């Protein structure tokens, strides 16, 4: 049996890297006042159809959807925003009129073509700020993501920001865009020709060469923003400048769905090349209503953790795991093993890694294991030691050895380590 295509096992020699990333995330989120939310891995399919949009690629082609034994249509979450909003509504978090700042870390599922750094089960970290319409909230989530990457040691970060307007100003722009592309329809790819009327903004971020060339002189959304959207966009830029976060204005940065409003942003890590986007986000003032809740202006982002890990590994930015003191207890015979287990338990309670043989090896075999395991000390309890009530404690570094009464072994090791004679 093998793991399914697009999935992977994370073995102990790599798991610490994930823990390293995740603890950096948790530390930072706590400083920014974000609370962790853990939602179910699967939800009613309808949630994602409404929350992501039933014409998007994710919903039409990439979801893991199945009928459960009760005849319900269930989907493994392809992203976490819809679930977070569902939970926000279900638990009536909006009831207190406060801003709710949430973050999540977890597995997402998309039936996509697997490639380097891209899996069918993949991991995302993301935040959602619900109930805040100030551009200061947009600046804060951008600062959180940017600071995380900087703290992890990534340089070469490029932040792209754009405003995609609101329900008032975007329709005018949309119409201009449709007219513009109609004149160049022969240059567009099939997909873009097809979605031109329904979703002209998406043509702007199409990767096909013809579409890219055709959009060079396309009207810019930022020339069509209403007064309010313009003011918000300028405020965001002012706040980013105050934060010392450099940014580039990118009128091609769009998101296709109607419930996205104002800010759209992306953080790229250029050394990753074609897959350089490590964080994407923006404002989605219309989403909560789309899912059946009250009007709740909101902003958030998601970070692909596989890609972030790739970037960190590329630069050697993941420190080796902190290694606790390590003791190997070699004991032969049930009585000696019982003494050994007692010592082991105390050492572990003191935060020392303490191993014993679990395979019935000879004392000599156990000592060989002690050497192989990289232990700092071996605690030996053979027949003679058992009779004397003292273990032989051997420093594996210099080979020196002392006999220590069983009950004093943990303290002896602790004193040695802290330099007490």
In this complex, which beta carbon is closest to Zn ion, that of residue 189 or of residue 310? 189
- Residue ranges with strand state E in 257-324: 261-269, 277-283, 298-304
In this complex, which beta carbon is closest to Zn ion, that of residue 227 or of residue 398? 227
Distance of alpha carbon 195 from the chain centroid: 31
Instruction: Verify binding: residue 165, Zn ion, rule CB under 5 A.
Output: yes
From candidates 208, 290, 350, 355, binder to Zn ion by CB under 5 A: 208
Q: Can you tell me the distance from the alpha carbon of 410 to that of 391, in angstroms, rounded to the nearest whole number? A: 11
In this complex, which beta carbon is closest to Zn ion, that of residue 43 or of residue 285? 285
Two tokens, residue 134: 């100030």
In three-state secondary structure terms, 167 is: coil
What residues between 222 and 281 interact with Zn ion by CB under 5 A? 226, 229
Instruction: Verify binding: residue 169, Zn ion, rule CB under 5 A.
Output: yes
In this complex, which beta carbon is closest to Zn ion, that of residue 230 or of residue 275? 230
In this complex, which beta carbon is closest to Zn ion, that of residue 104 or of residue 181? 181
Return the axis-axis angle of helices 135-151 and 227-243, rounded to nearest 10°. 30
From candidates 211, 327, 330, 381, binder to Zn ion by CB under 5 A: 211
Q: Can you tell me the distance from the alpha carbon of 62 to that of 120, in angstroms, rounded to the nearest whole number? A: 9
Two tokens, residue 112: 């996509």
- Residue 39 CB partners (closer than 8 Å, separation 6+): 77, 80, 83, 84, 86, 87, 104
Shortest Å, Cβ 203 to Zn ion: 6
- Judged by CB under 5 A, the stretch of 70-78, 145-153, 161-169, 299-307 that binds Zn ion is 161-169
- Judged by CB under 5 A, the stretch of 22-30, 166-174, 282-290, 293-301 that binds Zn ion is 166-174
Shortest Å, Cβ 285 to Zn ion: 11
Shortest Å, Cβ 100 to Zn ion: 25
From candidates 206, 331, 354, 381, binder to Zn ion by CB under 5 A: 206
Shortest Å, Cβ 294 to Zn ion: 21
In this complex, which beta carbon is closest to Zn ion, that of residue 206 or of residue 404? 206
Instruction: Verify binding: residue 84, Zn ion, rule CB under 5 A.
Output: no
What residues between 103 and 142 interact with Zn ion by CB under 5 A? none
In this complex, which beta carbon is closest to Zn ion, that of residue 157 or of residue 166? 166
In this complex, which beta carbon is closest to Zn ion, that of residue 49 or of residue 163? 163
Q: Can you tell me the distance from the alpha carbon of 10 to that of 309, in angstroms, rounded to the nearest whole number? A: 12
Instruction: Verify binding: residue 414, Zn ion, rule CB under 5 A.
Output: no
What residues between 179 and 198 interact with Zn ion by CB under 5 A? 189, 192
From candidates 127, 142, 166, 288, binder to Zn ion by CB under 5 A: 166
Question: Residues 293, 259: contact at Cβ < 8 Å?
Answer: no
In this complex, which beta carbon is closest to Zn ion, that of residue 45 or of residue 298? 298
Shortest Å, Cβ 163 to Zn ion: 8
In this complex, which beta carbon is closest to Zn ion, that of residue 175 or of residue 345? 175
- Where are the alpha helices (H) located in 271-373, listed in sequence order? 287-290, 305-314, 334-349, 363-372
- Residue 277 CB partners (closer than 8 Å, separation 6+): 266, 267, 268, 307
In three-state secondary structure terms, 74 is: strand
Contacts for 19-25: CB closer than 8 Å, 24+ residues apart: 20/318, 20/319, 20/321, 21/152, 21/305, 21/308, 21/309, 21/312, 22/105, 22/125, 24/148, 24/151, 24/152, 25/103, 25/105, 25/125, 25/148
Please tell me the count of residues contacting Zn ion according to CB under 5 A: 11
Instruction: Verify binding: residue 63, Zn ion, rule CB under 5 A.
Output: no
Q: Can you tell me the distance from the alpha carbon of 236 to that of 68, in angstroms, rounded to the nearest whole number? A: 45
What residues between 283 and 312 interact with Zn ion by CB under 5 A? none
From candidates 150, 168, 295, 411, binder to Zn ion by CB under 5 A: 168
Instruction: Verify binding: residue 381, Zn ion, rule CB under 5 A.
Output: no
Number of Cβ atoms within 10 Å of the Cβ of 95: 8
- Residue ranges with strand state E in 208-247: none
Give the footprint of Zn ion on this chain (CB under 5 A): 165-166, 168-169, 189, 192, 206, 208, 211, 226, 229
């Amino acid at each position: 049996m093998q793991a399914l295509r697009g999935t992977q096992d994370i073995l102990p020699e790599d798991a610490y890297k994930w823990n390293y990333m995740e603890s950096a995330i948790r530390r930072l989120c706590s400083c920014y006042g974000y609370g962790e939310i853990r939602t179910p891995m699967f939800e009613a399919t309808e949630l994602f159809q409404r929350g992501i949009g039933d014409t998007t690629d994710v919903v039409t082609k990439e979801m893991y959807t199945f009928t459960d034994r009760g005849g319900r249509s269930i989907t493994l979450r392809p992203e976490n925003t819809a679930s977070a909003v569902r939970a926000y509504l279900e638990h009536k978090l909006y009831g207190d009129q406060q801003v709710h700042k949430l973050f999540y870390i977890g597995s997402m599922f998309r039936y996509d073509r697997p490639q380097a750094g891209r899996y069918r089960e993949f991991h995302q970290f993301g935040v959602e700020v619900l109930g805040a319409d100030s551009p200061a909230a947009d600046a804060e989530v951008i600062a959180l993501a940017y600071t995380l990457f900087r703290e992890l040691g990534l340089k070469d970060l490029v932040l792209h920001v754009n405003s995609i307007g609101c329900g008032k100003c975007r329709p005018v722009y949309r119409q201009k865009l449709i007219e513009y592309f109609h004149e160049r329809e022969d240059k567009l790819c099939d997909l873009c020709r097809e979605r031109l009327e329904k979703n002209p903004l998406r043509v702007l971020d199409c990767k096909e060469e013809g579409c890219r060339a055709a959009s060079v002189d396309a009207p810019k959304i930022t020339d069509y923003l209403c007064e309010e959207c313009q003011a918000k966009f300028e405020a965001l830029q002012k706040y980013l400048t105050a934060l010392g976060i450099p940014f580039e204005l990118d009128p091609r940065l769009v998101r296709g769905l109607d419930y996205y409003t104002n800010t759209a942003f992306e953080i790229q890590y250029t050394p990753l090349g074609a897959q350089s986007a490590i964080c994407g986000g923006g404002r989605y003032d219309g989403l909560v209503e789309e899912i059946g809740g009250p009007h709740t202006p909101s902003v958030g982002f998601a970070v692909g953790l596989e890609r972030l890990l790739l970037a960190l590994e590329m630069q050697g930015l993941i420190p080796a795991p902190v290694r606790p003191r390590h003791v190997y207890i070699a004991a032969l015979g049930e009585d000696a093993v019982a003494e050994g287990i007692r010592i082991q338990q105390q050492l572990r309670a003191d935060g020392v890694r303490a191993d014993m043989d679990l395979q019935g090896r000879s004392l000599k075999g156990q000592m060989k294991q002690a050497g192989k395991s990289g232990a700092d000390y071996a605690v030996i309890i053979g027949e003679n030691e058992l009779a004397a009530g003292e273990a032989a404690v051997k420093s594996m570094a210099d080979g020196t050895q002392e006999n220590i009464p069983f009950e004093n072994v943990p303290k002896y090791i602790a004193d040695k380590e802290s330099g007490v004679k």
